[in-house]
Structure 1
Amino acid sequence: MDTKHSIGIFDSGYGGLTVFKSIAQKLPQYNYIYFGDNARSPYGDHSFETVYQYTLECVEWLFAQGCPLVILACNTASAKALRSIQQKVLPVKYPNHRVLGVIRPTAEIVGAYTESKTIGVMGTRGTVNSESYLLEIKKFFPEINAFQQSCPMWVPLVENNEHLDPGADYFVKKYVEELLQKKKEMDCILLACTHYPLLIPKIKAILPEGVSLLGQGEIVANSLEAYLANHPEISSVIGADGFKSFFTSGDQKMFDEHASIFFGAEVNSEHIDLKPIF
């Protein structure tokens, strides 16, 4: 490997840009390639097999662009595909590459945000049905009781740029209230989807006093910083020019318009027709 490789960041659409934004703020020196599989988004309601196949194709595309490390900045992909890729694909085909997700870093620290040891997890149907958060949280904090709530309308609202409209209020209130009704002692809610940070103002407006809201961007950025510090064999081959490039399998113009909102800065992407690389 030469020293001009990039860190790959993948999401099924735009949501991963909220994580990328935090990573770029925390670690601005590295080179990054972001890929959004917008042509096949959202992943939330797809089967495990379909999400795995889509995710693997995107990861292999990023590998082919020179990314020795790929972050699955997508909770659904992390829940349904990460473990299989790590255990079955990397050792056989890519022993020098690494793929990391967003679930484990969040599960590792969630205990610091609850005094009642009762938390809520809000995510897509795919993430909720996988029970990945319940399993990971239990590993690190057996004493915590976690309750889940799927929010099938939140990603469409965000991806269609309707998250600030009054019409979104009904669905925000509906899912938050359904979650809070599951256990009155709940004092922390984890947003287990990278699209959801754009709904934070509306969510906070209806949360009872004493219930905190936990997003993933800063958590994942801190985890990545620690990972690179502990793995010089990876960090040493990542280019340090601060270069960022964006790619989408969907409509380029639409991606740029929406992505700029998620990323908080102007985005100029390239379109690719994604096909299996290997």
Structure 2
Amino acid sequence: MIGIFDSGSGGLTVLKAIREEMPSSDVVYFGDIKNAPYGNKSREELSQHTINAISFLKDKGASSIVSACNSVSASLSLSLLDAFSFAPNTLIEMVGPTVSMFKGTNHTIALVATPATIRSEIYQNAFRMIGKEVTTIPIPALASAIENGEPSETLDAIVADAVPHISADEYSTLVLACTHYPLALSAFKKNIDPKIAIIDPALAVARRVKKQLWPMEVGDGKTHLYITQDSNTFRALVADLFPESAGAIEVIQ
């Protein structure tokens, strides 16, 4: 069984991509809505939330883990991973698959993410390893606004305030390095030059999951959804993306 975790609803975009790539795999999803957003947490807080999430997923039978949260990917430590004794290639995070998309290309890249992700410099360092510099732009309020179900006008205003200087003369590509941000794709399209490609890394992550876990993770195609606090936003997204699972959401303490 594949375990997927995120601070809330954003990871559903990754779950959808994984479902499309691996429809017969069993998946258990953990959304830590009670502690969302993760993007404003300290490294110590992120580590504790990560331990809690992985422990929960493993208790539910997950044999492989997908961290569908860029802020968590930025805080993962070798000591934390060693504590869970993962088998090779059974822990997949967001950064590696995202950066790999641009290896050997001539893209000029701007990247939007949470403050925690940018503060860690994990993307900046990863891009340098493939010979690229990337301009990073934090959007502190966006993930929580999405999680709280704020109206589209609010999301438009937050994005407009963050990205006015992104020009097609300087950048060919904008990477959405937070899994919540694709849920505000229309806001980015309204505020970004249409010549700039907007990249949602979910598909690249899903393909990495398939490459590393197929055919090991083959089951009955069941999806189990757990959240730490009830959320109308989460329920609405599940009803839209996974209507067959809309009644299978369990709120845990």
Q: TM-score, normalised by structure 1?
A: 0.83
**How far has the Cα of 1:97 moved from its partner?**
8.7
Equivalent position to 2:83, from 82, 89, 94:
89
Are positions 1:228 and 2:222 aligned together?
A: no
Counterpart of 1:160? Answer: 148
Are positions 1:50 and 2:50 aligned together?
A: no
Q: Please state whether the residue corresponding to 1:122 is helix, strand or coil.
A: strand
> 8 Å contact 1:247–1:269 — kept in the other structure?
yes
Counterpart of 2:26? Answer: 31
- The 5-angstrom pairing of residues 63-212 of structure 1 reads 63-81=58-76, 83-86=78-81, 88-91=82-85, 94=86, 98-111=90-103, 115=106, 117-139=107-129, 141-142=130-131, 144-163=132-151, 165-178=152-165, 180=166, 184-212=169-197
Instruction: Give aligned pairs, total.
Output: 251
Counterpart of 2:223? Answer: 244
Larger Rg: 1
Classify 1:272/1:208 alpha carbon distance in 2 versus 1 (closer, same or farther; 3 Å).
Answer: same
**How far has the Cα of 1:96 moved from its partner?**
7.6
Classify 1:36/1:14 alpha carbon distance in 2 versus 1 (closer, same or farther; 3 Å).
Answer: same
Greater displacement, 148-157 / 183-192: 183-192
**How far has the Cα of 1:256 moved from its partner?**
2.1
Q: List per-residue Cα deviations over 1:58-83 (Å, max 9, x = no partner).
A: 10111111111010011111111254
Q: Distance in 1 between matches of 2:137 and 2:59?
A: 37
Q: Distance in 1 between matches of 2:237 and 2:227?
A: 12
RMSD of aligned alpha carbons = 2.2
**How far has the Cα of 1:168 moved from its partner?**
2.4
Classify 1:123/1:90 alpha carbon distance in 2 versus 1 (closer, same or farther; 3 Å).
Answer: same
> 8 Å contact 1:48–1:81 — kept in the other structure?
no
What is the letter of the counterpart of residue 257 of structure 1?
A
Classify 1:174/1:253 alpha carbon distance in 2 versus 1 (closer, same or farther; 3 Å).
Answer: closer
What is the letter of the counterpart of residue 173 of structure 1?
A
Classify 1:83/1:132 alpha carbon distance in 2 versus 1 (closer, same or farther; 3 Å).
Answer: farther
What is the letter of the counterpart of residue 167 of structure 1?
T
Q: Distance in 1 between matches of 2:79 and 2:239?
A: 32
Q: Distance in 2 between matches of 1:66 and 1:17?
A: 20
Gaps of 5+ in 2: none
Classify 1:83/1:110 alpha carbon distance in 2 versus 1 (closer, same or farther; 3 Å).
Answer: farther
Q: TM-score, normalised by structure 2?
A: 0.90
Classify 1:119/1:83 alpha carbon distance in 2 versus 1 (closer, same or farther; 3 Å).
Answer: farther
**How far has the Cα of 1:217 moved from its partner?**
1.4
Greater displacement, 118-127 / 202-211: 202-211
Q: List per-residue Cα deviations over 1:225-260 (Å, max 9, x = no partner).
A: 11124xx6xx1xx35101111001112666423543
Counterpart of 1:276? Answer: none
Equivalent position to 1:21, from 16, 20, 26:
16
Q: Please state whether the residue corresponding to 1:194 is helix, strand or coil.
A: coil
Q: Distance in 2 between matches of 1:264 and 1:137?
A: 34
Counterpart of 1:260? Answer: 239
Q: Please state whether the residue corresponding to 1:247 is helix, strand or coil.
A: strand
